[in-house]
Amino acid sequence: MNLDSKVPSGPLEEKWSKHLNDIKLVAPNNKRKHDVIVVGTGLAGGSAAASLAELGYNVKSFCIQDSARRAHSIAAQGGINAAKNYPNDGDTIWRLFYDTIKGGDYRSRESNTYRLAEISNEIIDQAVAQGVPFAREYGGLLANRSFGGAQVSRTFYARGQTGQQLLLGAYQAMMRQVSEGNIEMHTRHEMLDLVVIDGKARGIVTRDLVSGEIQRWMADAVVLASGGYGNAFYLSTNAKNSNVTAAWRCHKRGAAFANPCYVQIHPTCIPVSGDYQSKLTLMSESLRNDGRVWVPKDKDDDRHPNDIPDEERYYYLEEKYPAFGNLVPRDVASRNAKIVCDEGMGVGPTGRAVYLDFRDAIEREGKKAISDKYGNLFEMYENITDDNPYEEPMRIFPAVHYTMGGLWVDYNLQSNIPGLFVAGEANFSDHGANRLGASALMQGLSDGYFIIPYTIGNYIAGTDLDEVSKDHEAFDEAADNAQSQIDKLFEVDGDKSVIEFHRELGQIMWDKVGISRSEEGLKEAISEIQDLREEFWNNVRVPGESSNYNKYLEFAGRVADFLELGELMAKDALHRDESCGCHLRAEHQTEEGEALRNDEEYSYVAAWEFQGVNGELQEELHKEDLEFDFVELKQRSYK
């Protein structure tokens, strides 16, 4: 397998501009002759579709939702980073790059991460020009706030709805192109397979989720922007329909899956309340700007939190990490929440929660100022828990939130299958082993607005793309494959619901492939997942029929894929016999319980090549060595 990262030579600061000078262009009158498929309409897919269409390509856009305005990017709350340095606090592109690569625990590519920081400023300009209503100061200029893992204020925000506003900006840009006939929009369509002809991605197979029809679509390039795979854990902060299917089916067609074990567990989510729970709700990390995290020092202290005096509270983040305090990166905050709960200091009915307290901030700034910053988050919390965070501390606990792993891509965001480009959370590219807050929006939009539109041109201009037809045997094979999997799901006709299988998988993943992992636990997880997968194919019950709207059928296909991916995640976590970022192997910790990397042996991207499933998932490991020419690898410290 060819894992050439195609990183341009030269100084870090000049790589992207040099690359832009060097890449091939498609003449304006020729762009019209090329079809590009974009799967997914989140920030990455929406911005890519809009920008490609503006350039003149014929874009076909697909999403599983009923509108291109609903993808899960919409739920991102806190903000988007950029190195504008408007607050004059010493921010630079280098600092944003450095924070991101350090935050990722030195497991990302220097060149990609630097480019992300470089493009960050253009994204803010673009969004403001579209009318995205970012928060402003009284002087009329844009406001910033701080986020975890940084000592500057570089986060732009729109109250607690930044993702929504940025996504609507991209969606509106898309709709403009739909009206001009440059985008053909297909909502309620799910990609079920990738069509590879002569080694190049030339189309996809979809299922129309309303009619159940299996359809074929041709293109000269395919952009996959189908999001992350956090729902392998069943309970996560992802939307219910978020899934790995499109990416996994590309993997089964030969696209390498990189670093699947890198899963971010977000520290500030509303704790689980019962087994009927269908998802977990995130409370933005921005709350840690003003909220103080603590647990009672005495594990048997059952007083109301407001009655516990300061000296009997353990502000564990502030005590352990005086430099960053409550603003340590997410992995550090999550791990510490688990540690105090494992030690018995957790609060709430389940003992699996810690307090996030705004008492001091309200005293200092007043209720109104806090409400201006976090009003909608406080309402959301109260609505779900029936507790008022203005009057008593929130209870929070970590939950699966984001997946840094994804399909392997080179510097052009092209997978190892020529013509298949991967953007946003679906690729593995920029965040290493841990993503900093307010960086997901940045990456999705950077990929979609400013990288893929150029690199696709380079591919199309430099590639011989023969005429293909929908009758090509590769299309027949992919369409038959999609249909036969659906038929197989119905044929099982077992007793156990899809949701039960998903919940069981999630429990295995959370217990053994979650915040802390061990060799023993991972081996157990692999065998339990294999058993569960076998049981699934012998005992799943899918109600209804395939020629109709059928959400259980959609879920069944997605759970089948999660049952394979889950095993790969565990395999990857097992093979990576070190800790780094979010991947904590219990065997490898510093004395203070921090992730202990092994740069000698594991400073590489693990890219897995699918070989087959036969009881066991067969995957071959390939390695892309990470080279650090510009930053020095250090043990991360937020003390």
Partner 1 sequence: MADTFTVHLKIWRQDGPDQPGKLVDYTLDKVNEHMSFLEMLDVLNEEIVAEGKEEPIEFDYDCREGICGSCNLVINGQAHGPKDMTCTCQLHMRNFSDGDTIVIEPFRAKAFPVIKDLVVDRSAFDRIIEAGGYVSVKTGSAPDANSIPIDKTVADTAFDYATCIGCGACVAACPNSSASLFTGAKLAHLNRLPQGEPERKKRTVAMVEQMDEEGFGDCSNYAECEAVCPKGISISAIAEMRRNYVKATLAGTEA
Between the CA of residue 536 and those of 193, 500, 511, 611, what are the distances in Å? 21, 10, 20, 21
- Rule CB under 8 A: which of 474-503 touch partner 1? 497, 499-500
Taking every pair of Cα atoms in the chain, the longest distance, rounded to a whole number of angstroms, is 74
Out of 129, 302, 591, 612, the only residue in the binding site for partner 1 (CB under 8 A) is 129
For partner 1 (CB under 8 A), the number of binding residues is: 82
Stretch that binds partner 1, among 260-268, 269-277, 582-590, 594-602 (CB under 8 A): 269-277
Q: Does 159 bind partner 1 (CB under 8 A)?
A: yes
Contacts for 345 with CB less than 8 Å, ≥ 6 apart: 295, 296, 297, 299, 314
Contact 239, 511 (CB under 8 A): no
Q: Does 69 bind partner 1 (CB under 8 A)?
A: yes
Q: Which residue has the tokens 């893929």?
A: 452
Out of 9, 21, 88, 179, the only residue in the binding site for partner 1 (CB under 8 A) is 179
Q: Does 158 bind partner 1 (CB under 8 A)?
A: yes
SS3 state of residue 150: coil
Q: Which contacts qualify for 297-306: CB closer than 8 Å, 24 or more apart?
A: 297/345, 299/343, 299/344, 299/345, 304/392, 305/347, 305/355, 305/357, 305/392, 305/393, 306/359, 306/391, 306/392, 306/393
Query: Which residue, 428, 398, 603, 623, is CA-closest to 516?
Result: 398
- Rule CB under 8 A: which of 194-223 touch partner 1? 210
Q: Does 78 bind partner 1 (CB under 8 A)?
A: no
Find the DSSP H helices in 275-329: 316-320
Between the CA of residue 81 and those of 46, 157, 624, 634, what are the distances in Å? 19, 9, 28, 23
Could you say which of 115, 330, 576, 636 is catalytic?
330
Find the DSSP H helices in 104-242: 110-129, 162-179
Out of 7, 33, 86, 492, the only residue in the binding site for partner 1 (CB under 8 A) is 86
SS3 state of residue 192: strand
Stretch that binds partner 1, among 69-77, 87-95, 257-265, 567-575 (CB under 8 A): 69-77
Instruction: For partner 1, give the closer residue by CB, 352 or 541.
Output: 541
- Rule CB under 8 A: which of 397-456 touch partner 1? 449-450, 453
Instruction: For partner 1, give the closer residue by CB, 7 or 55.
Output: 55
Out of 125, 342, 476, 534, the only residue in the binding site for partner 1 (CB under 8 A) is 125
Amino acid letter, 395: R
Q: Does 187 bind partner 1 (CB under 8 A)?
A: yes
Contact 328, 148 (CB under 8 A): yes
Out of 362, 380, 399, 422, the only residue in the binding site for partner 1 (CB under 8 A) is 380
Q: Does 22 bind partner 1 (CB under 8 A)?
A: no
Minimum CB distance to partner 1, residue 587 (Å): 36
Q: Does 344 bind partner 1 (CB under 8 A)?
A: no
Q: Does 171 bind partner 1 (CB under 8 A)?
A: yes
Q: Does 176 bind partner 1 (CB under 8 A)?
A: yes
Output phi, psi for 34, to 5 deg.
-115, 130
Minimum CB distance to partner 1, residue 599 (Å): 38
Q: 303 catalytic, yes or no?
A: no
Contact 148, 329 (CB under 8 A): yes
User: What string marks each residue from 347 to 366 as x (binds partner 1 by CB under 8 A) or -?
Assistant: --x-----------------
For 390, half-sphere exposure in the C-beta direction (CA atoms, 13 angstrom radius) is 15
Contact 594, 635 (CB under 8 A): yes
Instruction: For partner 1, give the closer residue by CB, 386 or 471.
Output: 386
Minimum CB distance to partner 1, residue 54 (Å): 5
Minimum CB distance to partner 1, residue 385 (Å): 8
User: What string marks each residue from 87 to 116 as x (binds partner 1 by CB under 8 A) or -?
Assistant: ------------------------------
Q: Does 547 bind partner 1 (CB under 8 A)?
A: no
Residues comprising the chain, all counted: 639
Q: Does 390 bind partner 1 (CB under 8 A)?
A: no
Catalytic amino acids? 330
